[in-house]
Amino acid sequence: MVIYMRAFIAFDFPEQLKNQLYQIQNLLKNISYGGSWVSKDNFHITLKFLGEIEEGYVEGIGRVLKTISLSNVPINIKVNNIGYFNRKNNEYGIVWLGLEGDMDRLNAIYDFIEDNMNQMGFPKERRKFSPHITLVRRMRTNMDFNKVRNIIVPYLGNQYKLDNIALMKSEVIMNKRVYTPIVSSKLIDHNNNRR
């Protein structure tokens, strides 16, 4: 029997970054009157959404992630701004945090994944890669977004290392969206002097 799973490739976050994002999320909760909040455990940067895949792809995807981990050191990022997609009246479709840092290296990893997944039969993404962290969907607030930004900006700017790249399974368990790493690979800095 063929087993399918809804899956994507992502950078999973270190605990201290998840804690900071959760703190920022709570600030947003205090100034809003509704929204679909991303669970603290689910914060990540999506590199490739695969959709429903057969379990048989896992091994090949794992090899691609291993290749990435062997040829890349951890990526330095800063969470540097807050924005949104799709505003309709007082509802913001997605409120996200933007990044700065080793963006060239993050883009190179993204391109490598796109090329390798394309060879496996997954079509290339047509949209430009725009790495961001989703905090909430359908957030409702009466506050002007410039004021929202002013509240959040003081909490931005900390630096983090991304070092865990994973194939994640997405499923709904007890009415809750749960992301589970199926296979993951660590980017290791073998030489601390390397830039």
Residues designated catalytic: 44, 132
- H or E element in which residue 127 lies: none
Calculate the CA 37 to chain-centre distance. 14
CA 47, 63, 72: angle at the middle one, nearest 5?
A: 60
- Give the H/E segment covering residue 171: strand 164-173
Radius of gyration of the chain (CA): 17
Q: Is 157 left (phi over 0), alpha (psi -120 to 50) or beta?
A: left
Show Cβ contacts of residue 44 under 8 Å, excluding neighbours closer than 6 positions: 10, 11, 12, 13, 133, 168, 179
Query: What is the Cα–Cα distance from 141 to 34, expressed in whole angstroms?
Result: 8
Q: What is the helix (H) or strand (E) element at residue 43, kind and residue range?
A: none
Task: Give the closest residue to 107 by CA, choosing from 88, 129, 123.
Answer: 129
